[in-house]
Amino acid sequence: MTKIKAALCREFGAPLTVETVDLRAPEGREIEVTLDACAICHSDISYADGGWGGDLPAVYGHEAAGRVTALGPDVKGLSKGDPVVVTLIRACGSCAPCASGRPVGCESPAGASPLTTTDGTALVQAMNCGAFAEKVVVDQSQVVRLPEGVDMAAASLLACGVITGVGSVVNAAKLRAGEDVVVIGAGGVGLNAIQGARIAGARRIVAVDMTEEKLAIARDFGATDGVLATEDKPWRAAMKALGRGADVVIVTVGAIPAYDQAPRYLGNGGRVIMVGMPHSGAMSTYEPVVLAALGQGMTGSKMGDVVIQRDIPWMVDLYEQGRLKLDELVSNRWRLDQINEAIADTKSGGAKRNVIVFDTSA
């Protein structure tokens, strides 16, 4: 067992506590990664607030990057010292979703958590990662090797926010060049959906958010137009900017009003891609006859429907070319002992992504 520092959730809605915990050595196809950075995603916050249930005590955190420091006996293709991005997407490679090219839907159960408290109590390794910690032990399928020299704080965003946003456009919506896009929510995932639409060749990209400040940032990432969600019937302003209804609407926030309104932005044959995740039990309403009559659709997208070994390398390449923004997404860097402050700052809505950074030189 290796002793590490980790931020534990012992009670939903309560501050996380930074404690010393035990991490077992990697087995089979597992690897140990000593983390340089872990970004804070709204999904971590929703879980810690009890929005989706689950067992406690738990270690959250799932957008991470670091270096391989130990390998199980069955690992192939990785070496100690390799820089990697760590995702929550654990894929067996042989179940029906994996075999059909959709590893985000892998149906094989996860193994036992590698984490325990110092008194032997089992700790939940939330979302297959438990990355609010100095080290993680994860399955080899969850990581992608990075080129040397990539900033790890920026690279950590590739684990979720970037692949979810870009993937929602490229993989889920299958955006064609020249189509029009509305992105509801200009936070971390929304900004990546916007730049995904720009990269994919959208004609116009309308960002919808609550403040002019967020809309200005959205324009920096590729939005051609901005609409305040606080307007009366904001879909009318979006249609005016586009000259018609949108081909694609990406909902990147877990707000029920956003889901209620999303189909109203659509044009004939358009599709809503549902990315943001409301709390369990929250319900949305829409008028199905309109969708049926106009041939519209609504589709859920988990993690941008990515195949990480395929999609993350080309996103890294775009980043190195200057065509995909990552550094600009990092709002602030925090120490692990500042995690509750970083979470509070994230909840305030002003940050694109707050990142926990670790001192790996110690």
CA–CA distance, 254 with 251 (Å, rounded to integer): 8
Beta strands in 132-220 (DSSP E): 135-139, 143-145, 181-184, 205-209
Give the range of the structural domain holding residue 13, as residue numbers without chain letter.
2-159+325-357
Q: Is residue 330 part of a domain?
A: yes
Same domain, 273 and 338: no
Whether residues 146 and 192 share a domain: the answer is: no
Please indicate, yes or no, if residue 271 is contained in any of the structural domains.
yes
What is the distance, to the nearest Å, from the Cα of residue 108 to the centroid of all Cα atoms in its chain? 21
> Can you give the CATH number for the domain in which 23 is found?
3.90.180.10
Q: Residues 25-45: what's their mean pLDDT?
A: 95
Domain of 194: which CATH number? 3.40.50.720
Q: Are 128 and 62 in contact (CB under 8 A)?
A: yes
Statement to judge: residues 272 and 179 lie in one domain: yes
Q: What is the mean pLDDT of the chain?
A: 94
pLDDT for res 361: 55
Q: Are both 7 and 138 inside the same structural domain?
A: yes
Residue 307 lies in a domain: no
pLDDT band per the 50, 70, 90 thresholds, residue 79: very high
Burial of 210 (0-12, 13-18, 19+ CB in 10 A): middle
| Cβ atoms of residues 230 and 255 within 8 Å | no
Q: Say which residue the tokens 């196809």 belong to.
A: 29
Mean pLDDT of all residues in 190-213: 97
Residues 176 and 259 placed together within one structural domain of the fold: yes
Higher pLDDT: 225 or 351? It is: 225
Domain identity same for 124 and 53:
yes
Q: Are 210 and 253 in contact (CB under 8 A)?
A: no
Q: Are residues 82 and 224 in the same domain?
A: no
Domain presence at residue 317: no
In this structure, are 36 and 155 located in the same domain? yes
The answer on 61 and 12 residing in a single domain is yes
Average pLDDT over residues 189-214: 96
Query: To 10 degrees, the CA torsion angle through 52, 53, 57, 58?
Result: -30
Is pLDDT of 192 > 80?
A: yes
Does pLDDT of 76 surpass 80?
Answer: yes
Q: Are residues 330 and 282 in the same domain?
A: no
Tell me the per-residue pLDDT of 248-286, one tens digit each, with 9 for 90 and over.
Answer: 999 999 999 999 999 999 999 999 999 999 988 999 998
Whether 360 has a pLDDT exceeding 70, the answer reads no
Percent of the chain surpassing pLDDT 70:
99
Its pTM stands at: 0.93
Q: Which helix (H) or strand (E) holds 162?
A: helix 161-167
DSSP 8-state symbol, 172 = I
- For residue 198, being part of any structural domain is answered with yes
Residues 296, 302, 305, 308: what is their CA dihedral angle, to the nearest 10 degrees? 160
Q: With pLDDT > 90 as the criterion, what percentage of the chain qualifies?
A: 90
Q: What is the pLDDT of residue 316?
A: 97
150 and 170 share a domain?
Answer: no
* 134 within a domain of the structure (yes/no): yes
Residue 116 reports pLDDT greater than 90: yes
Split into its structural domains, the chain has a count of: 2
Residues 221, 97, single domain; the answer is no
Question: Is the pLDDT score of 305 beyond 70?
Answer: yes
Task: Supply the DSSP symbol for 336.
Answer: G
In a domain, 242, yes or no: yes
**Cβ neighbours for 120, distance < 8 A, ≥ 6 positions apart:** none
2 pLDDT higher than 70: yes
Strands 246-251 and 181-184: parallel
Q: Is residue 308 part of a domain?
A: no
On the question of pLDDT at 362 being above 60, the answer is no
Tell me the mean pLDDT in the region 172-189: 96
